[in-house]
Structure 1
Amino acid sequence: MNQRPTILSFLFLIFLSFSTIHSQKLLSGKVMDSKTQEALVGTIVKLVKSNAVVVTDFEGNFTIQSTNESDEILFSYTGYETIQMPVGSQSFFSIHLIPGKLLDEVILIGYGSQKKSDKTGAVMSVNSNELNIGGLSDPIQGLQGKVAGVTISKQGGDPNSGFTVNIRGAAGLTSGTGPLYVIDGVPGVDPTNIASNDIESYNVLKDASSTAIYGSRGSNGVIIIKTKNSGLSKSDEKVHKVEYSGQYGFDQVSKKLNFLNSSQMRDFATKTGRTYIDNGANIDWQDAIFRSGFTQDHTLAFSGSDHHSSYRASLSHLNIKGVLEGSGKQRSIGRLQFTQSGLKDRLTVYAGIGGAIEHNDFVNYGNGISPTNVLYQAFRRSPTDPIYNADGTYFETDRSFQYFNPVAIIKETQNERDAKRFFGNLNVKLKLLDHLVLGVNGAYTRNDSTSFYFEPSYAASNTTKGFAKRTYNNGSSQLIETTLNYDLNYKNKHSFNILGGHSYQKDSYDGFFAQGKEALSDYLKSYNLGALINLEPGSIGSYKNEFLQASFFGRLVYDFNKKYYLTATIRRDGSSKFGKNNEWGWFPSASLAWNIMGESFMNFVNFFDDLKLRIGYGIAGNQNIPTNVDAIFYIPAGTAIDPESGNQVISFQNSGEVNPNPDLKWEENSELNIGLDFGILKNRISGSLEYYRKTTTDLIYKFELPVPPNKNRYIYANAGEITNNGVEVSLFGIVIDRKKLDWKTTFTFSKNNQKTKQLANDKYDLDEIKTLYVSGRGLVGGENYSQVIRPGFEIGTFFLPQYAGLSDDGKFLFYTKAGGVTRDVSKAERREVGHAQPDFSLGWSNYLKFGKHVDASIAVRAVIGFDVLNVTRLVFSNPSDLPTLNVLEEALDEYDRGLTSSPILSDYYLEDGTFLKVDNVTVGYNFGLNKSKYLKGFRLYVAGSNLLTLTQYKGLDPELSYGGVEFGRDQYDVYPKTRTITFGLNATF
């Protein structure tokens, strides 16, 4: 047998293998953060031509085999600039990736995104690491004080009440003022459906040219929320991650009112000789109903991604024990998100599903002098009254009309709600052509809640031998949107993005209630309404209605050579809320931007790094009004005898509310916005200046009509005009940028002036609107209003009798129109004495990092130059109630100066509400875990919320809720503000 060919073949293979080994080269290196020099664990390192992929280890090191010096090596890490470079003869690579914050940030603009440098409207973006943390009862609270022109406020600290969000003032008189929330591309979703730890970023669209793509739903501004989703990566290797976030917070009432104690009460009775019943106790009734609160918030998330698919699953649980006895909130949220690509990346499918279960424990407050108002009863109760009798029952006495034990009210009353929420959406994008993408977005949300209320027959505050009520409410929303998006870049000078779409939304609401009196058994509470004997006409009711909206929209985004930008939008909305003659409306907008730095004459200007001028104008409709405003309803009118059968039946009558108006149409908001974006000192200082003028015409108002000839008393009609003018400043600064100390700061300034231009038209006449009424002991009648909406004046202007001193016998004196004084308040002139709108608002946030491990942040907020009507002083600082009822310590001073009048509403109780708050302070420690195999990140932190308030205001807290056009009143029965210390940890595996 001839062995020669075999030997030659063997020698050839050996030679070939040696040649291959010789041509291979081992590449190695280290990838670090360009600023901190910290290792970037998990950086993707890829050889472009050979498709070989590795990731860096826990020290940022990597090794990879290369067979071709002409190959290119790519370094990619989420949140950092991607670097791609030739392999060449180099064998070791020291790579410093630049953090994404130093790159051109991408912002969400509605049905798409764009580079921040390309924006033409007033859009601000805030990432999750810039938000307030610790003790958040509502996700939107994290955004407080971060965006100029956005007011996020809440009077009191009730965990079951939400925050009021107002962007550039109210857009109407009776319509809602809340913005449109868009969560993961789905408009109209309640942000409480997501957990605070699931939020990645907020994008706030403030002007009409930016919000126009959402039509009438965006008339009060738009907040786009992007949740955390791993997204598709550039690597074919699946990367998995587990994240846990836990918070434990401890809450205390930040400030209590200075009511008299038992010694002061007894001393006053002795000093004045007034009749007084001393029941021998020494009770602080605020301590009796307040307690130390507790908050815990946990989120566990699993995520993973590669080039073709990604997933994220999260589970959150929030538990809040309120500082007011009996109040609390528990909420659990689960979310699951998937993204899958196919057809050679021409198809992308995103699916998200989520659900929330919530239980609320309520306490009665905020209902004036109601017998079950826990705060009112506690504040007025004598400190000498004990909580319990000797036998352990609740102590009750009749010092005054409707005088009840607040602890008994809390313990004996059932007031709770169970809610279930579901949210799901499916988004499909298909690249039909290289530049043409078809998008289909479908979503469904559902909210169900059941409320339970029960007062037992033995409760002293109950006069009906037991009262029970159950209420069920359901709301659902269906949305389907279809878009076509054409994107083209021509010769790197002309960039076009053309969007066209259709949207259809159907919202449905239904519910019922049943109530009754005289319970057979207190044990059953409200769970069995059949155990109630007394069911009067009107004790059972139900409702069902729906709202439909259809829209067509289009948008053109164009830029020439990154110097001149144009955005034009048109939207046609149809709504079932309006009269049949005006169901549809057109809403256009356009905005221009000029990148001044792109001009050749700026080559000689070294002071600016960025400079861009923007101008935009848009029109939006406002449909934030109730559904069925022109429907005729019938209500029970009592019982009658059926003449045919002789049986007793319930008779009905017209509810006498609203007359139909087929000409009712959209409120129309037109807004001009001029902005200037700039950067100096190598962009160490950057920011924007904004001026806007927003005008709302055809205001929707509920006008009163004579009956007869009209069938009903009211009609919704269009009349009137209001304006909002404002200036906003946003600044971002890198104060110190060193390895051992990194300090960044942001500053916001906002000034808004809202004024009424007119309230009437040729058909409907209205001179003024009396508003902001107050209530309390001695305050009865229809003249206890404090503000008037009047053409030519600011919204929130106080018109009150002006205090002129005391008479010789201690009665209040007020100025008259003729310049004299009177003790009869009905003869006093109501004068313009103050304004609830602030002169301006400030926000200042600081972010610091000390070395590799320690970080800190502080957020300060101030509202300057506004007036507050202190209704607490009005009701509780009058010595005429002593010593029967408790009062503030100020009442002793009032007695000493001779006051003998009962409480009378006037500017005597109007105060400057200017304040500065330290909203949030956080200090954290990040552990270095480069050598850990499983634990990739671990951070401990402590955060304080509402730590300090500097103000000369005498009440509990000067912060107001700026919802609608009624603000400026600090009512006495507001849930107390809390100061919270939170301990938390974040871990990544």
Structure 2
Amino acid sequence: MKKNRKCCEHFLRKANQQCARSIGKRTAGLCYCFTYYHKFMEKVNPSDTCRRRSALCKYLLIMKLSFFIVFLSCMQVAAAGYSQRKISIKMKDTEIKKVLDRIANQSDVHFLYSNRKVDLHQKISVWANEESLDVVLNKVLNGSGFTWQELDNQLVVILPSSTAWDNIKVKGKITGADDNIPLPGVTVQVKGTTIGTLTDENGNFTLDAPAGGQLIFRYVGYEVLEMPVKANMDVQLKKSSSALTEVVVIGYGVTQKKDLTGSVVSVTPKEFNKGIISNPVQVLQGKVAGLVISKPGGNPNGKVSISLRGASSLSASSQPLFVVDGIPGIDINAVPPDDIVSIDVLKDASAAAIYGSRGANGVIIVTTRRGKDGAPQVSYSGYVGIDKISNTYGVLNADQYRQYLKDNNINPTGFDLGSSTNWQKAVTRTGLSHSHNLSMSGGKDNTRYSASVNYLNNEGIVINSGLERMIGRITLDQGMFDNRLRLGLSMNYVGEKNRYTGQDPDGNGDNRIWEQMIAYNPTAPVYNADGTFFEKLDINDNYNPVALANQIKHQRAMNKFIGSAKATYDITKHLTYDLLLGLERASSDRGLYYSKESPVTEGAGSNGTATRASKTWDNKTLETYFTYNQQWQRSILKVTAGYSYQNFFTNSMSAGNTQFVSDIFSYNNLGAGQGDQPAVSSGAEENSLVSFIGRAFYSYHDKYLLTGTVRRDGSTRFGKDRKWGTFPSASLAWRLTQEPFLQNSNWLQDLKFRVGYGVTGNQEIQNYKSPLTYAPGGKVLDNGRWVTSYQIGQNENPNLRWESAAQFNAGFDFTMFKGRLNGTIEYYDKRTKDLLFNYNVPSPPYLFPTMLANVGKISNKGLELSLSGAVIEHKNFSWNASFNISRNFNNIVSIANDQFKSDAIYDGTVGARGLTAVQIVKVVPGYSIGTFYIPHYIGIDANGNQQFEDIDKSGGFDFRSDSRVAGNGLPKYQAGLANTFRYKNFDLNFLLRSLFGYQIFNATDLVLSDRFSRLPGRNAMARYADSKIKGTYVSDRFIENGAFLRLDNFTFGYNIPAANSKLFANPRVYISGQNLFILTKYTGLDPELPIDGLAPGIDNRNVYPKTRSFAVGFTVNFK
């Protein structure tokens, strides 16, 4: 007994000495310690000894445990200072033991195993590039008959797979914490082992796991969760606040956010604006720094103005290119917001250059919902809401009008018409809106499908206006040949009916209703005693606005089909081929009719006027490209090369007639009109774009990133000598947190510096602007019959080419405080040249007095800041917020060259009664687009006549020579603040949005300010009823600060518990409000005005009133 005890004590001393010498020698020493211990224990077998001496057995057991404690202590000392690292390894036909040695050298992890029970002489081939240790170990031991067990961060035991502790059968279900939707494909793994499984389509899983062990749950886009093993486990995963691994669509492919080298912002449905939305792009309003989206007024058919990083053209479109499911140029209105899964905004040239001649204004990529594997899922979402006018003009009411007549000794005869009518109220109403979306999706065995129907009915607040839209979508995806071939089919149908009061977005129709709504006599009745509309026509251009709204019928019907077919084939492990075919085919039919009773047409002697116009168009797309993806031990290479072809064809026809016997036919029977010269016209247009594309991405050590892009475009829109153009870009990124000096930071998880430069183009001009053309010149009488004459329509310009924008971009992306805070700060410098504008030219030698030419230059510089994060994260309460702000510096560099001369370009026409229309915006080098150039008001004389500064010192007044810079209508700053609060089953979110740093010319106030010229025949602003100022003159007297802060959206929701329901899942009810309040100093109806064109910031009496909306909504999934 004493001999055995001495032997054991000798072993412990020797083992401790050996372990001490082994510290710092990593695996070799550790394996020696373990082997030395193992051999000794084989010599002194406790089971044999115990049969002879029970006391020795107890002593050996105590000694064995003591050794293990000493051994672990040694390991803790040896591991001090080491941290976990990712593994990069590439070994072929190598023994497992040598592979583990290599891993140990990289990771500071120590491996323990028994040479007798674990044979590591098997040869394997393994490859990994910057992958985590557990993933690499699973690769190494896969199929070897061995598994691994983690004891602590630096100690791993290798043991036979059959070795296990007492196991229990674990069953559970995994859902999303935000929406309780089951999560299919979640990885469930026993910590420290290769044992694991995946959840099925309903989020369920079953697994044999050791009692007392830990389970790790991993799912893309969600936080990793670790929980102790239990027999029944219902798990909820939170969406990751760090979006580095999120997939971002970049055009002709996808990438992870961490690999981006350009400026790209991704917005998902949980961040979308809610409420009554007639245009899907409104879901982005206030969400993206540098993206200004403005929808003036509350017209459901109204046009949305979009600007990304400033105005950069004089005449071409400044709207970004929309790409829907890979097809460029698709109308965003064809996609209901409920079917959108992501919107990616490509802001800089290095990101947008892949779209070449159409990327100068940025690119917005929309990805729609498709089917997923799993049982059929049916869901419904819908809302019912009301719209009310949010603000009215402060004109005189009937009592104030009568008091004005009395105070100014005006005979009321002919002016006081005996009634009291609020014309703004008479023309408007409470609009009812409702939307419904029903969808179904599912899939099995590589076949996935989805279908949805969306219906929207938005009744405008102005009588006889509204929008009705129905969209049906079907998608089908099929995988074949072990999923090497993937086929996708998508079909959309859009049916839309528009009812216009006033002009449509193309300028057709009559906008006088808005002027009459605020100018008509408040004592006039709406109807005569016989029920006909009251009219008082002894004053020119004075019409009953309610009559105008009812006597003008203006409608449009549109039908659209969008179909696409995509095939993706994995030629090899590294090479993929994609083919996309797309077709958009649409037709519209528009009718406009002024009734016989309308004073507008009666005054012109038309006796009823009808116009009918139809239009059909096709957009055909072919996209074909190869993608090569190769990964080495420390680097990644992705190369895309392809070809694109797109063809647009439009066919249009219009006809009109006058002198109708009856209104019964409206615009449906033009032949019923008896006009002398019925108007008939038709036309067809076509343009094509052919492109070759290439992009290469290289990543070294997941630390240094490089992207290069080039696109070669050929367009039929430009001159015969300038049809082709090349658009290159290059960008670099450096992930500083992958460097040793930041790798171990506790508060900074990711920091990336990006810099890029690229060239993009703008080809959004009308077709056939380069060749010499002829145009109809009107009707002439020839031998008793009317014939059409022709004349020169435009000059030839063989050098006409696209506008070209060169942009530099630099920025930082960062993630801090364990993903609680994410942000981006960027600087850009975009310089656009070869600006297209119609210049005056001498005739002769030219055949036409104007010519479209490439001349000017514009500069846009700016700063952008975006922040998002989890302010508070608790079990029952959370607060997430996002904030963005941007500042744009717009400057016109030049508008002339040696051939085309111009000192300034004038725009922004404003007219008033008794005043010749004038242009108040001056485009001149050194200033921004939208600069107001008007006289400076200095007061009135003793007689009330307005006085202006004599700027040219001529002693007299001249509008043009006595004008000066008075402000700018283009917003310099844009900001948005979104907040989401969740408490148990309740949620609340709101969006504050602001535009500031700009001015508004209040032309409405200009018209309604002169009581002397307006009263008593017309109405005027109440605040000017006692004004002594005479005359209606354009001046900076009507310049106002346009800055505003608006509560754009407010939504409060409740997720109804329905765990035991056999029919419903995840029901949610919510209330939503839009435009609930606004803080502004602007005295007009609303400070949000169109931002496109050369003359933003003019409030000119023709804006559909802004609305305030309230809605109640409901969403539910059906089991």
Alignment correspondent of 1:144: 285
Aligned match for 1:797, one of 922, 926, 931: 931
Alignment correspondent of 1:855: 987
Alignment correspondent of 2:1046: 917
CA contact (8 A) 1:369 1:775 kept: no
After superposition, where does 1:479-518 map in structure 2 within 5 Å? 479-491=621-633, 493-518=634-659
**What is the Cα deviation at residue 755 of structure 1?**
0.8
Alignment correspondent of 1:737: 873
Aligned match for 1:974, one of 1103, 1107, 1112: 1103
Query: How far apart in 2 are the matches of 1:287 and 1:574?
Result: 54
Alignment correspondent of 1:585: 725
- CA 728–52 in structure 1, closer or farther in 2 if over 3 Å, else same: closer
What do the CA deviations read for 1:388-429 (whole angstroms, capped 9, x no partner)?
A: 111111111124102111111211221101111110000100
Alignment correspondent of 1:558: 698
Gaps of 5+ in 2: 1-161
Letter matched to residue 722 of structure 2: N
**What is the Cα deviation at residue 630 of structure 1?**
3.1
What do the CA deviations read for 1:321-347 (whole angstroms, capped 9, x no partner)?
A: 100011011000000001110111101
1:339 aligns with 2:457: no
CA contact (8 A) 2:471 2:492 kept: yes
Query: How far apart in 2 are the matches of 1:144 and 1:52?
Result: 42
Alignment correspondent of 1:113: 254
Equivalent position SS for 1:720? strand
Aligned match for 2:1088, one of 959, 970, 980: 959
- CA 297–38 in structure 1, closer or farther in 2 if over 3 Å, else same: closer
CA contact (8 A) 2:908 2:1094 kept: no
- CA 686–472 in structure 1, closer or farther in 2 if over 3 Å, else same: same
Aligned match for 1:700, one of 836, 840, 846: 836
**Higher relative contact order by CA 8 Å / sep ≥ 6: 1 or 2?**
1
Alignment correspondent of 1:390: 529
CA contact (8 A) 1:215 1:572 kept: yes
Residue-pair matches, total? 943
- CA 389–721 in structure 1, closer or farther in 2 if over 3 Å, else same: same
**What is the Cα deviation at residue 93 of structure 1?**
6.4
**What is the Cα deviation at residue 378 of structure 1?**
2.0
Query: How far apart in 2 are the matches of 1:33 and 1:301?
Result: 20
**What is the Cα deviation at residue 686 of structure 1?**
1.6
Equivalent position SS for 2:756? strand
Equivalent position SS for 2:1076? strand
Query: How far apart in 1 are the matches of 2:584 and 2:808?
Result: 35
Alignment correspondent of 2:488: 350
**What is the Cα deviation at residue 753 of structure 1?**
1.2
Query: How far apart in 2 are the matches of 1:958 and 1:535?
Result: 46
1:679 aligns with 2:812: no
After superposition, where does 1:766-777 map in structure 2 within 5 Å? 766-777=902-913
Q: Higher mean Cα deviation, 239-248 or 35-44?
A: 35-44
Letter matched to residue 688 of structure 2: L
Alignment correspondent of 2:965: 832
1:899 aligns with 2:1032: no
Letter matched to residue 812 of structure 2: L
Alignment correspondent of 2:892: 756
CA contact (8 A) 1:630 1:660 kept: yes
**What is the Cα deviation at residue 859 of structure 1?**
0.2
**What is the Cα deviation at residue 665 of structure 1?**
1.4
Normalised by the length of structure 1, the TM-score is: 0.91
What do the CA deviations read for 1:129-160 (whole angstroms, capped 9, x no partner)?
A: 11111100111111100000000002111001
Alignment correspondent of 1:478: 620
- CA 36–217 in structure 1, closer or farther in 2 if over 3 Å, else same: closer
Equivalent position SS for 1:547? strand
What do the CA deviations read for 1:330-384 (whole angstroms, capped 9, x no partner)?
A: 0000000011101111011111000111111111259999986111122111011
After superposition, where does 1:773-784 map in structure 2 within 5 Å? 773-781=909-917, 784=918
**What is the Cα deviation at residue 32 of structure 1?**
5.1
CA contact (8 A) 1:841 1:862 kept: yes
**RMSD over aligned Cα, in angstroms?**
2.9
**What is the Cα deviation at residue 930 of structure 1?**
2.3
**What is the Cα deviation at residue 578 of structure 1?**
0.3
CA contact (8 A) 1:396 1:405 kept: yes
Alignment correspondent of 1:10: none
Query: How far apart in 2 are the matches of 1:221 and 1:577?
Result: 20
Aligned match for 1:286, one of 424, 428, 434: 424
After superposition, where does 1:356-435 map in structure 2 within 5 Å? 356-364=494-502, 373-435=512-574
Alignment correspondent of 1:14: none
**What is the Cα deviation at residue 776 of structure 1?**
3.1
Alignment correspondent of 1:648: 785
What do the CA deviations read for 1:897-932 (whole angstroms, capped 9, x no partner)?
A: x2122x111100000111100000000000122222
CA contact (8 A) 2:511 2:1102 kept: no
Query: How far apart in 2 are the matches of 1:163 and 1:814?
Result: 37
1:299 aligns with 2:403: no
1:720 aligns with 2:856: yes
- CA 369–871 in structure 1, closer or farther in 2 if over 3 Å, else same: farther
**What is the Cα deviation at residue 651 of structure 1?**
3.5
**What is the Cα deviation at residue 34 of structure 1?**
9.0
Equivalent position SS for 2:925? coil
After superposition, where does 1:818-829 map in structure 2 within 5 Å? 818=952, 824-826=957-959, 829=962
Letter matched to residue 879 of structure 1: R
Query: How far apart in 1 are the matches of 2:1043 and 2:756?
Result: 33
- CA 190–972 in structure 1, closer or farther in 2 if over 3 Å, else same: same
Alignment correspondent of 1:462: 601
CA contact (8 A) 1:914 1:951 kept: yes
Equivalent position SS for 1:872? helix
Equivalent position SS for 2:515? helix
Alignment correspondent of 2:457: 319
Query: How far apart in 1 are the matches of 2:187 and 2:817?
Result: 34
Letter matched to residue 839 of structure 2: F
Q: Higher mean Cα deviation, 32-41 or 874-883?
A: 32-41
Query: How far apart in 2 are the matches of 1:777 and 1:419?
Result: 38
- CA 866–470 in structure 1, closer or farther in 2 if over 3 Å, else same: same
Normalised by the length of structure 2, the TM-score is: 0.81
Query: How far apart in 2 are the matches of 1:34 and 1:346?
Result: 30
Query: How far apart in 2 are the matches of 1:735 and 1:617?
Result: 35
Alignment correspondent of 1:199: 340
Alignment correspondent of 1:617: 757
**What is the Cα deviation at residue 832 of structure 1?**
1.1
CA contact (8 A) 2:342 2:366 kept: yes
- CA 336–603 in structure 1, closer or farther in 2 if over 3 Å, else same: closer
CA contact (8 A) 1:338 1:351 kept: yes
| Bigger-Rg structure (1/2) | 2
Q: Higher mean Cα deviation, 222-231 or 971-980?
A: 222-231
- CA 25–370 in structure 1, closer or farther in 2 if over 3 Å, else same: closer
1:190 aligns with 2:331: yes
- CA 321–627 in structure 1, closer or farther in 2 if over 3 Å, else same: same
- CA 818–528 in structure 1, closer or farther in 2 if over 3 Å, else same: closer
Alignment correspondent of 1:6: none
Q: Higher mean Cα deviation, 392-401 or 949-958?
A: 392-401
Alignment correspondent of 2:1070: 941
Letter matched to residue 816 of structure 2: I
**What is the Cα deviation at residue 39 of structure 1?**
9.2
**What is the Cα deviation at residue 274 of structure 1?**
2.7
- CA 742–73 in structure 1, closer or farther in 2 if over 3 Å, else same: closer
What do the CA deviations read for 1:88-119 (whole angstroms, capped 9, x no partner)?
A: x9977676645344452211111111111111
Alignment correspondent of 2:585: 446
Letter matched to residue 562 of structure 1: D
Q: Percent identity?
A: 34
**What is the Cα deviation at residue 270 of structure 1?**
1.3
Query: How far apart in 1 are the matches of 2:503 and 2:359?
Result: 33
- CA 337–100 in structure 1, closer or farther in 2 if over 3 Å, else same: farther
Gaps of 5+ in 1: 1-19
Letter matched to residue 992 of structure 2: V
- CA 319–38 in structure 1, closer or farther in 2 if over 3 Å, else same: closer
Letter matched to residue 451 of structure 1: R
1:567 aligns with 2:707: yes
